[in-house]
Amino acid sequence: MIKWGNQDMLLWLTALLPLLLLTGLMIRRRTKLLSRMAEQGLWSTLLPRHSAKRQRLKNVVRVLALGLAIVALSRPQWGFKWEEVKQRGLSIIVALDTSKSMLAQDIKPNRLQQAKWGVRDLLNELRGDRIGLVAFAGDAFLQCPATIDYAAFVMMLDDIYAGIVPVGGTDIFQALETSIESFEKAEESQADKVIILISDGEGHTGDPLALLPKLKKEGIRIFAIGVGTKKGELIQTSDGFVKDKAGNVVKSSLNEGMLERLAFETGGFYVRSAPGDFGLERVYQQGIAELQREEREARMSKSWVERFQWFIAAALLLLLIEALILPIKGRSHR
């Protein structure tokens, strides 16, 4: 059985036949131009060393070498060996605000979409860290338990939208409590636990600061990302602008105070998002990356053996042969 480390490269093989035909036509066109200059019977006199067959052979060999190089870049693998792998990682829960205020467009295209893009970028920084997702508005629920299956996490993240939590408002207390419970259910050991709280900070119910003693006892750090601007923006939905009970248009602005205190009191830090720099990369590199990483139970992993070297060697051999094939006939000896 052959596995491919970079299977998409194999698509370039489909270009070899058109390339071979194109270069063949160019050689044929050159031959026709020669025939216009002189009759073929005179070629041996005018061009005694001309050889169209050698040129076609060189062309075929070059294209074959290119094909082997493409196969090598596709990283063919066959045969395997078993290796012991020890996983190390943190446990991270992303608590993502999905209230209607996250539809404000003071950060384009809106706060929620920028947050989702930022979380996607964060995945590129993780090295075996478990990551889960809590969606919250006026209530909260665990959208994705902490996992190292990043593809599954992305699927759950893509399903998030403003209104996925049917209860309106913003309850940061419930978001943090749900995140803490997810750690307890996962029965994590001594590895550091992190909550990445992404919100505009406009809390309407509950007192998140009441959870500080529990967060400190459990050793859970909060890194907070403030989404939005201090100036604020109107909240636009598919039904128009959001209005309060009195019929006035609601303007949502960033409230940093609560987010800053939660982060500071638990040993994390706060970052305000900005266009082009959501802040999660800074949170990871300057905060999360410095934390303890638990060494989890070792497991045996199947490691496939790379075989690209054979194809590179064959491609180089063909190029050497191509260089040795003269495009003209050798001199005749008398």
CATH, residue 133: 3.40.50.410
pLDDT over 50 (residue 39): yes
Tell me: do 309 and 282 sit in the same domain.
no
Give Cβ neighbours of residue 316 (< 8 Å, ≥ 6 apart): 65
**Calpha distance 191→185 (Å, rounded):** 15
| DSSP code for 328 | B
pLDDT band per the 50, 70, 90 thresholds, residue 242: low
Number of domains in the chain: 2
Residues 146 and 219 in one domain: yes
The pTM (predicted TM-score) of the whole model is 0.60
Query: Does residue 334 fall inside a structural domain?
Result: no
Examine residue 160 and state whether it is found in any structural domain, yes or no. yes
Domain limits at 232? 91-292
pLDDT tens sequence across 175-212: 999 999 988 876 555 568 899 999 987 766 778 999 99
Q: State the average pLDDT over residues 273-284.
A: 82
Q: What is the pLDDT of residue 9?
A: 87
240, 113: one domain:
yes
Are 26 and 162 in a shared domain? Answer: no
Asked whether residue 138 falls in the same domain as residue 50, the answer is: no
**Residue 28 in domain:** yes
Residues 287 and 161 in one domain: yes
Residue 48 has pLDDT above 70, yes or no: no
- Both 109 and 151 in a single domain? yes
pLDDT tens for residues 55-91?
Answer: 788 889 999 999 999 999 988 888 877 766 555 668 8
Any domain includes 266: yes
The answer on 228 and 119 residing in a single domain is: yes
In a domain, 299, yes or no: no
Task: Tell me whether residue 116 is in a domain.
Answer: yes
**Assigned domain for 275 exists:** yes
In a domain, 86, yes or no: no
185 and 138, same domain (yes or no): yes
Mean pLDDT along residues 32-48: 60
C-alpha 255/C-alpha 226 separation (Å) is 8
Q: Are residues 183 and 44 part of one domain?
A: no
Whether residues 58 and 105 share a domain: the answer is no
Long-range contact pairs involving 230-239 (C-beta distance under 8 Å, separation at least 24): 230/254, 230/256, 231/106, 232/104, 232/106, 233/104, 233/105, 233/106, 234/104, 235/100, 235/101, 235/103, 235/104, 236/103, 236/104, 236/105, 237/100, 237/103, 237/162
Q: Are 130 and 201 part of one and the same domain? A: yes
3-state SS assignment for residue 175: helix
